[in-house]
Structure 1
Amino acid sequence: MEGMTAVQGRIAEIQNRILMLSANRTSSTSAAWSGAAAAAGLTGTAAAGTSTSLGAGDGSAGAAVVAAASKYLGVPYAWGGTDPASGLDCSGLVQRVYKDLGIDLPRTSAQQATSGTPVASLAEARPGDLVFFDNSSSRAGIDHVGIYIGDGKMIAAPQAGDVVKVQSVGNPDLIRRVLPDTPAASGAPATAAAARGSGLAGVPYSDLFAAAGAKHGIEPGLLAAVAKTESNFSSSAVSAAGATGLMQFMPATARGLGIDPADPASAIDGAARYLRQLTDQFGSTSLALAAYNAGPGTVSRYGGVPPYGETQSFVTKVLTAAEAYS
C-alpha cells in the first residue's frame, strides 16, 4: 500500500510540474508573439465593422491563437464570464484568447461578428478564424462563437454545465478573420512553427504531434512522451502482446478508432483522439494514461490507476517524458 501511495504521489508531482511548465511556455509564447507582432506593426484593435490593423503576417499566427486557446481547455462555462478563474462564456473566451495575443475584440459574440473580414466558407477557413452561430429562435441574431482550429473543429465554451472544449464546428452561420490574411512567406506550416516553439524541437514526428495536439486539445509533449515510452518513436514496433506501430495500438483498438497503426500520421491523430476521449471520461491525465495502457474497463473497475506494475510504470514514465518535452 505504501508503494502505491508513493507512485500516486510521484504522478501528482509530475503532473503539477507539467502544468506549471505548460502555463509558463504558453505565456512566453504569447508574449513573444505579441512582441514580434508589435515590432512588425501587426497588433491593433478589431473595431466593430472594421478590419484590425494587422498587416501582412506569417502563418504561425493561427497556431499562436490555437495554442493560446488550448490553455483554457477545461475551464467551466459561466454566462457573462470573462475571467478563467471563475469561468468563461463563448465570447469571453474569444476576447480573452485574442487579448493574450495583443488583439482587442469587442465583448459579445454579436459585436465580434462585425470584426475583421468575412470568410466565404468553412472550406476557406484557417486556424484562428472565428466561427459564429445563430442558435436562437427569437431572431435575435448571432449568439455563439468559437475559435476554428482546423479539420472541422473549434475550441469553444458551449453552454451552462459544460467546459471549454474541442468540438465539431458543424454549419456556422458566419466566419470572420481577424488575423493577417497573408500566408507564411517562408511557406512553413503553422504546426511546424508551433513545434519549434515547444520542447519538441528535434523530436521525431514533432509536426504531427503539434498538429494532432492542437486538433484534439492534447499537449503535443504528452503525445510525444507516449510514443517515446511505447515504441521509442519506431513506427514498425510490435509488442509481445501484439500492439503495433508508433503509438502501440492493439488491433481491436485501432479498428475501433478507424486508424492505421503503422502510419505515423494516422496513429498519432488516433492516439490524440483516444487520449481526449479517455481524459474526458476519467477527468485526469494520469487516469487517461492508465486506461491507454490497461484499458478503460480496468481503470473503472479499480476506480483509479490499477495496481499493476506495468501500468504504474507506464504512467510515471510518460509523465516524466512529457515534463521534459514541455
Structure 2
Amino acid sequence: MSGIQAIMSRMAEINALVVPASRQAEGTSGSEFAASLTDALGQADTAGSATGADAVTAAQKYLGVPYVWGGTDPDSGLDCSGLVQRVYADLGVDLPRVSRDQAKVGTAVASLDQAKPGDLVAFGSPVHHIGIYIGDGKMIHAPEAGQDVKVGKVYETPTAIRRVLPETSTATTSSLTGLSSLSGLSGLSGLTSSDSLTALTGKYGVSSGGSSAYASLFTQATQKYGLPTGLLSAVAKAESNYNPNAVSGAGAQGLMQLMPSTAKGLGVDAMNPSQAVDGAARLLKSHLETFGTVPLALAAYNAGPGAVRKYDGVPPYTETQNYVRKIMANLNSGVAA
C-alpha cells in the first residue's frame, strides 16, 4: 500500500468512527471523504508549492559550476540565463531561454528594497545579464567567462526585477482548508501550510513503511555498485524518512528525493522506489569516485558537486553540514543499516 493510499485508508477509518451514520447520510460519506482527500493531496503535489526561498536553495546547488557562454548543462557549464532557467526547471517552472525574455516573466517588483529571495534581477537595456536575488543586496549568478556561479553583490540598480514564485506556498494551505470542511473532522480546521503530507501521516498514525520495506532494494543496489553498507538506507531516511511519495518544496521527489532534472539524467522515475534507489546508488557511486570519501559524496548529493569543488570540501551551508553530520552519525552507529 502506498503512503497516500495508507493515509486515505486510515483517515476514512477515522471518519467512520467520528461521524455518526445519520450525519454521514446527510453529509460526507466514506467514498466522498476519500474522493475529497484524493483531490486535496493531488493539489498539494502541484508545482504551486514552490516558493522564492526554494529557488535560492535550488540555486545554491550550482555554486562553483563554471561559466560557459550559451551553457545550459551544469555538467559542462552555465551562462547567466542558463543558470536561471535550470534552477526554475528544477522547481517545475518553465522559463524562456534568454535573459531579455526571462526579464519579462512573472510580476514586476518596484525596487530592490521590495525584492524577496528568489526574485529575478536583470541588468542592462536591452537586458544582457540576470541573476537570482537571495536578499541583503546579493544574488546568485553566473558572471562571465573565467568565473564560476557564485554569490555576488547586486552591483547596480536592476533594470527589471521579476517575481516568478510567491514568498510563501499557497498550495498546501488551500488543500488542507478543503479537507477541514469534511464533516466530523473538526480537528483538521486548525491545519496550516506547515502541516505537510508528512505531518498528516504522523498525525493520523500512518506509517510510510520504514527501512525494512526497502531493505532488499538497498542491499541489491549496495552490492551492485559497491557502496558502503547502510549508506543508501541512511540517505533515504535523511531525505524522505522512507516515504516514496515525498515531494519537497524545492521539487525533489520520492524515496531518495531526486530532482526531476537529476532523475531524467539518470533515466529513472523518482517516484518508483526501485528505480529511485538504483539511480541514487549510481549517483552516490559517481560522487565517491570523484571526491574519494563518503562525507564529500554526501555533500555532493545534497548541495551539488560544483559546491564541493568550489569549497574543496563540505560546503559551508548549514543544511548540507547538518545533512552530512546526521547521516555519518547514523552510519557509524548502525541506526540506518
TM-score (norm 1): 0.41
TM-score by length of 2: 0.40
